[in-house]
Chain A
């Protein structure tokens, strides 16, 4: 989008925020209905007569299904159907536009759907599912990613390898180097609402009420999987109880629900039990990451290499873009960034919050901490020294980049100068105290999106698009944008989203949801403003909107009076433009953390975290902050807790539930502070906003790990930093 195209309707933050809606910390407009149970999720308010299904998973990790005995299950009173023969049954989640493997013969991974049991109640469906006997011929599977050969140049994923200069030579010449390998485990998206879908057919038309982040793409994928035209599928997702990337694509349950509804001729709903979510949807790949950094004695990077290996099954097209955030992060002439692949017989790996950066920042930002120590340079100063003037990989100018401001503001607010550089030297009783920091960076994407805004004769505006609100605040920010543009209070703006009958967007993912859909709404409102200007016989830039009225040339007219019967329909359509191509765009930040590590047991308790973030225009200071601190808490959990364990003997997950897949609890998360250095990014999109949803997790975990090192002198490179990894390096008791 060209800079000149930034609409006049949005005030410049910092100059005119007084009466405006945009940017203000407004409570979620859907908050009350959510906390009082009024907001219906995918499994709720099913059409009358809905049946319930349970899914039977494959009992081995590789092989073939020989026979399925459904007699006992089918005989149970209340069972409507046991479906084992539908060739459209998906093996798992459809991601990145690719269909999952379909069919019921070959077993691609443990827990793959092999039977659908449809019954009058969930209890009966579950009991019947346990009675289904699946006879298999097992085969040898590839269950240990670390034991499989690495494909150096996989032809999947979006991130090509980058090779600039000669890293090996630059490393050999460098005065100070780091060459270290870090690992991260399997991560589950772990949304509180499991994947769930209610499906019903009306003749040859299918409606899915699904917990899904990107319903426009889901509609097409479901249609392809079922072999019908997309026009016959409608997907609804009015409320989504968390997605975190795990509800991009289409979970197996959606297609299974559609198949079941077709078979029994009734609506069917499916909510995956927690343990099945792990097998029938996607997870984040484990990673192995080698970091090489080489500098002169002054700390200037001469070489930077971030080489990674990730896992995917034979069907998946997604490749965790591990070094993505490192590409524009630091200067250095010799550069190498790679993503190797190992093929495994496990459920698909896919997008989980901040694909790439969430795990890539562990390696590069811990590596920078190690480098700083070897150089004897303050870690923050090392980053400042290597701040690039332009994107060091593409040579493009940055659209906006306030990284140095984030460092400075964060250091000041956190008290970074009080850090004691010698590790293990600050002790309070049994507790070793340390602080650490890391840079945060998440690539910014603006994607194609459309929106319609209808101004009715009552002077109310209705915003319509197929965007989703996955708990992020979409309902609220779209209302704020329209209200700001048209001078309407939130009580006069309705937002209707989560329906593929509405103008298409790219949904929620990649932190592009808010900025892209908001931009489309901005343009739709511009459209309405142009029409109002015609009706006022004025130029659009002469108009001022306030309190439901429009002023021009000394005249003030209520919006309702200008509508004259037929509603005014504004249409907005935004897509990446010349500026998107011409600039390097990212959100930036600096993360700071203080930890206490128990010198006896190695237990880590985070005492405080503080982040300063550059996200362009802040659309809503409250929801933006919630996104930021939510990401920080998750980064903490990646650093300390989250560890999806694969039993390499048979391809099962050992801990696919919330009892033993540990996310951070309230007691683990201390005071979190998030601050913004706000600057409208005119190159990014008409809203001037950059992504925020995935920025907070980037670098957060590395700051924790660096703080642990500062506290203890123990450098752990295999995430998460559980106490057993610290014990050998702790002082004697």
Chain B
């Protein structure tokens, strides 16, 4: 771990201003950042501690949705009665991640910003464009079992590891921020993350010092089934090989609405409108489910040891749709 300065912010605005400096990072739960600092994967020169800011509430919104403070711990969010009742997919996704101890520390805002678990990102002696831009990608041509098959580029095939963010993508969450210049903005989660392209080290649209203060969930879809299915290599404490977050409402045997997001497949919580279009307004059939899987995986590309994710995603999506539509 390298030496760094530490400041404790007393307001979101002050935090954003403090953290606008080059080399600064926010710290809340620290469940990801501290590990990376110990390995010198992250080497901030300044930490701005936001953990004491009053951003730890879950509040009702007038439109029937919720605003989740950026510092709400994953455990509390998963256990919130309103979340369980209206956004079951989110509670399930949270509980599918990490361990009880980590969920007690991990924050909502921090979870959205988790860094990839790519093996080579963690090994500072290897080339990694995300860690050291321009150095190359060791995962391409290397061992890439847990890495992405969608949205990759020749520069990076990392996955985003979060479960929570996948559920939030399915729920059309909006991320609320405080900028260093005093402005606040609301960013749809679909616009929040960036594909790696040739700048895989830039993972989202946040500006220097811009602080996530909360996440808004729109009013829940009525009479919908929720599902979070996480496929992983062991029963606990493993990142998703493939995960499916789904919210589906039926009108008889016809799919009335569907919202589907995927983890473990891409560099961001993945969502593709064509997947939903393949089933919405249509009667439930194996053919429509297969069409949804075709749409999801049309551009999928394996890199060797992660090739299996493509058939795995297909099978998992079809089984998930059966469950979501009550046809299993």
A, B co-complexed? yes
Does A146 sit within 8 A of B, measured CB to CB? Answer: no
State which of A415-423, A485-493, A545-553, A652-660 sits at the interface with chain B: A652-660
Known: A126-B1, A654-B142, A724-B308. A659 touches B117 (CB 8 A): yes
Q: Does B315 contact A727, Cβ atoms closer than 8 Å? A: yes
State which of B122, B145, B236, B242 has its C-beta within 8 Å of the C-beta of A668.
B236
Q: Does A601 contact B316, Cβ atoms closer than 8 Å? A: yes
Q: Does B40 contact A733, Cβ atoms closer than 8 Å? A: no
Q: Interface residue tally of chain A, by bracket?
A: 35 or more
**C-alpha gap A723/B141 in the complex (Å):** 22
Does B311 sit within 8 A of A, measured CB to CB? Answer: yes
State which of A602, A647, A667 has its C-beta within 8 Å of the C-beta of B143.
A647
Q: Does B234 contact A640, Cβ atoms closer than 8 Å? A: yes
Does B303 sit within 8 A of A, measured CB to CB? Answer: no
Does A605 sit within 8 A of B, measured CB to CB? Answer: yes
Q: Is the interface of B mostly helix, strand, loop or mixed?
A: loop
Q: Does B233 contact A722, Cβ atoms closer than 8 Å? A: yes
Interface centre among B3, B143, B234 (most CB of A within 10 A): B234
Known: A130-B2, A662-B238. A727 touches B233 (CB 8 A): no
Chain B residue numbers with a CB within 8 Å of A665 are 234-237
Chain B residue numbers with a CB within 8 Å of A728 are 311
Q: Does A647 contact B142, Cβ atoms closer than 8 Å? A: yes
**C-alpha gap A723/B146 in the complex (Å):** 12
How far does the Cβ of A320 sit from chain B's closest Cβ, in whole Å? 23
Q: Does A727 contact B319, Cβ atoms closer than 8 Å? A: no
Q: Does A660 contact B119, Cβ atoms closer than 8 Å? A: yes
Select from chain A the residue with minimum beta-carbon distance to B2.
A127
Q: Which of B225-247 contact A (CB under 8 A)?
A: 231-238, 241-242
Does A603 sit within 8 A of B, measured CB to CB? Answer: yes
Q: Is the interface of A mostly helix, strand, loop or mixed?
A: loop
Chain B residue numbers with a CB within 8 Å of A127 are 1-3
Q: Which of B189-232 contact A (CB under 8 A)?
A: 231-232
Chain B residue numbers with a CB within 8 Å of A649 are 141-142
Does A123 sit within 8 A of B, measured CB to CB? Answer: yes
Chain A residue numbers with a CB within 8 Å of B308 are 723-724, 727
Does B123 sit within 8 A of A, measured CB to CB? Answer: yes
Does A66 sit within 8 A of B, measured CB to CB? Answer: no
How far does the Cβ of B263 sit from chain A's closest Cβ, in whole Å? 14
State which of A430, A660, A724 has its C-beta within 8 Å of the C-beta of B312.
A724
Chain B residue numbers with a CB within 8 Å of A100 are none
**C-alpha gap A600/B123 in the complex (Å):** 34
Contact with B along A115-151 (1 / 0, CB 8 A): 0000000010011001000000000000000000000
Does A645 sit within 8 A of B, measured CB to CB? Answer: yes
Does A537 sit within 8 A of B, measured CB to CB? Answer: no
**C-alpha gap A316/B316 in the complex (Å):** 46
How far does the Cβ of A726 sit from chain B's closest Cβ, in whole Å? 10
**C-alpha gap A123/B142 in the complex (Å):** 32
Does B277 sit within 8 A of A, measured CB to CB? Answer: no
How many residues of chain B have a CB within 8 Å of chain A? Answer: 38
State which of A130, A603, A654 has its C-beta within 8 Å of the C-beta of B232.
A603
Chain B residue numbers with a CB within 8 Å of A603 are 231-232
Select from chain A the residue with minimum beta-carbon distance to B40.
A130
State which of B1, B124, B126, B231 has its C-beta within 8 Å of the C-beta of A723.
B231
Chain A residue numbers with a CB within 8 Å of B39 are 275
State which of A59, A601, A662, A666 has its C-beta within 8 Å of the C-beta of B125.
A59
**C-alpha gap A247/B1 in the complex (Å):** 27
Does A343 sit within 8 A of B, measured CB to CB? Answer: no
Q: Does A600 contact B237, Cβ atoms closer than 8 Å? A: no
**C-alpha gap A644/B127 in the complex (Å):** 20
State which of A645, A667, A727 has its C-beta within 8 Å of the C-beta of B311.
A727
Does A641 sit within 8 A of B, measured CB to CB? Answer: yes
Q: Does A733 contact B231, Cβ atoms closer than 8 Å? A: no
**C-alpha gap A660/B231 in the complex (Å):** 15
Does B318 sit within 8 A of A, measured CB to CB? Answer: yes
State which of B119, B234, B241, B314 has its C-beta within 8 Å of the C-beta of A654.
B119
**C-alpha gap A403/B123 in the complex (Å):** 47
Contact with B along A580-604 (1 / 0, CB 8 A): 0000000000000000000011110
Does A714 sit within 8 A of B, measured CB to CB? Answer: no
**C-alpha gap A654/B147 in the complex (Å):** 13
**C-alpha gap A724/B242 in the complex (Å):** 12
Q: Which of B285-328 contact A (CB under 8 A)?
A: 308, 311-312, 314-316, 318-319
Contact with A along B115-155 (1 / 0, CB 8 A): 00101101111100000000000100111011000000000
How far does the Cβ of B276 sit from chain A's closest Cβ, in whole Å? 19
Chain A residue numbers with a CB within 8 Å of B122 are 657, 659
Known: A660-B146, A668-B236. A601 touches B231 (CB 8 A): yes
How far does the Cβ of A561 sit from chain B's closest Cβ, in whole Å? 55
Q: Does A655 contact B233, Cβ atoms closer than 8 Å? A: no
Known: A127-B3, A723-B241. A733 touches B233 (CB 8 A): no
State which of B40, B123, B141, B233 has its C-beta within 8 Å of the C-beta of A641.
B233
Does A664 sit within 8 A of B, measured CB to CB? Answer: yes
Select from chain A the residue with minimum beta-carbon distance to B161.
A659
Chain A residue numbers with a CB within 8 Å of B241 are 723
Query: Would you mind naming 29 contact pairs between A and B with Cβ atoms under 8 Å apart?
Result: A126-B40, A127-B3, A130-B40, A273-B38, A275-B123, A430-B319, A600-B315, A600-B318, A601-B231, A601-B242, A601-B316, A603-B232, A647-B138, A649-B142, A652-B126, A654-B142, A655-B119, A660-B117, A662-B233, A665-B234, A665-B236, A665-B237, A666-B236, A668-B236, A723-B233, A723-B241, A724-B312, A727-B312, A733-B314
11 new A-B contacts at CB < 8 Å, known A275-B123, A727-B308: A273-B38, A601-B242, A601-B312, A645-B143, A654-B142, A659-B122, A668-B234, A722-B233, A723-B312, A727-B312, A733-B318
A contact residues vs B (CB 8 Å cutoff): 59, 123, 126-127, 130, 273, 275, 430, 600-603, 605, 640-641, 645, 647, 649, 652, 654-655, 657, 659-660, 662, 664-668, 722-724, 727-728, 730, 733
The 10 tightest CB contacts between A and B, nearest first, are: A724-B308, A667-B236, A667-B235, A600-B319, A665-B236, A654-B143, A601-B231, A668-B235, A654-B119, A733-B315
